[in-house]
Amino acid sequence: MKTIAIGVFIFAEIIYQHGMKKILITGTNGMLGKVLVKQLLEKGFYVIGTSRGECKIVCNSEKFKYYEVDITDYFQLHDVLFDERPEVVIHAAAMTQADECELNKDKCWNVNQHGTVHALVGAKMYSSFLIYVSTDFVFDGEKGMYKEEDECRPVNWYGHCKLAGESVIKDAEIPWSIVRTCLVYGEKTSGGRDNIITWADGKLSKHEKIKVVDDQVRTPTYIGDLAKGIISIIEKKATGIYHLSGKDVLTPYQMAKAVAKYKSYDESLIERVTADTFTQPAKRPAKTGFVIDKAINELGYDPISFAEGIKKVLG
């Protein structure tokens, strides 16, 4: 297995001696993984990053170490967990593009369900707490503004596989937490995918017309808030299911309009459409969005507004 060690190797005994937790994150090359690494290091945690491919995080900290791991290969992850013995595992690795999941169902199941089983089995053997990152797509979108205890009925394969992962976690014999989030956005990094803000900004800055749906409702989540919420779960040793999203209830069309207004783009470039306008392999739930009272009351979760999020992303 290819291993990239950044800085000096820190033995587990030294970590425990200084009272520092060692956190392992799957999927560190993703948007959430990168922000989690940064915030955890700032708080003094030791971080073990795992992901497919070479490390995409620029970090010179002796408290960060990276392993190239394919989550679908149980033995790759097992070997890292055996060597590192992290106290907490954050399972953020996933196949997240709904259309790609619909077109490649076996691959999606392998990554999102089997990969979760692998993370759980390894965490059960060598760790004491597991956090699983899930999605609003576990809901059917008929009701909207979902609470943690609401019934899950996914309408696409991505949501089905993520819900299957949740079921696996709920049977864990170690303390666990499931974090559901909704339409995550943030600063685009090198090699990273666009999100609603960076996509709209990129198109409108070139005076390109865009079609944006106005019949889907979400509570968009700033990536920095999501990472802070997960870290709060670690610090408070909070177990159970938590909904972590923003407070604003918006449609993608309203989000794109907000970007145009902030950057003084021509708003006439944005065409309001419905989901029926597009032919997509995966059905989208019409109305999701979260009630986040539990996270506010138990975790001290305090997300920024979407307007503040635009400023952070676009400067």
Say if residue 2's pLDDT is above 80: no
**In the prediction, which pLDDT does 3 show?**
47
Contact 48, 89 (CB under 8 A): no
Residue spans of the domains in the chain: they are: 3-186+220-248+288-305
Which one of 3.40.1390.30, 3.40.50.720, 3.40.50.9100, 3.30.1360.30 gives the CATH number of domain 3-186+220-248+288-305? 3.40.50.720
Region 103-132 average pLDDT: 98
Say if residue 237's pLDDT is above 70: yes
Contact 92, 25 (CB under 8 A): yes
Contact 178, 43 (CB under 8 A): no
Stated pTM of the model: 0.93
Structure token pair of residue 69:
């791991």
Region 96-125 average pLDDT: 98
Region 131-150 average pLDDT: 98
Structure token pair of residue 140:
């059917």
Say if residue 11's pLDDT is above 70: no
Region 146-165 average pLDDT: 98
Convert the pLDDT of each residue in 178-234 to its tens digit.
999 999 999 987 778 899 999 999 999 999 999 999 999 999 999 999 999 999 999
Distance of alpha carbon 223 from the chain centroid? 8
Structure token pair of residue 43:
């708080």
At 260, is the pLDDT very low, low, confident or very high (cuts 50, 70, 90)?
Answer: very high
Question: What percentage of the chain reaches a pLDDT higher than 90?
Answer: 91
| Phi and psi at residue 242, to the nearest 5° | -130, 135
**CB within 8 Å of 117: residues ≥ 6 apart:** 168
- In the sheet that holds 22-26, the strands lie side by side as 3-5, 64-68, 46-51, 22-26, 88-91, 129-135, 176-181, 240-244
Tell me what the pLDDT averaged over the chain comes to: 93
Say if residue 18's pLDDT is above 60: no
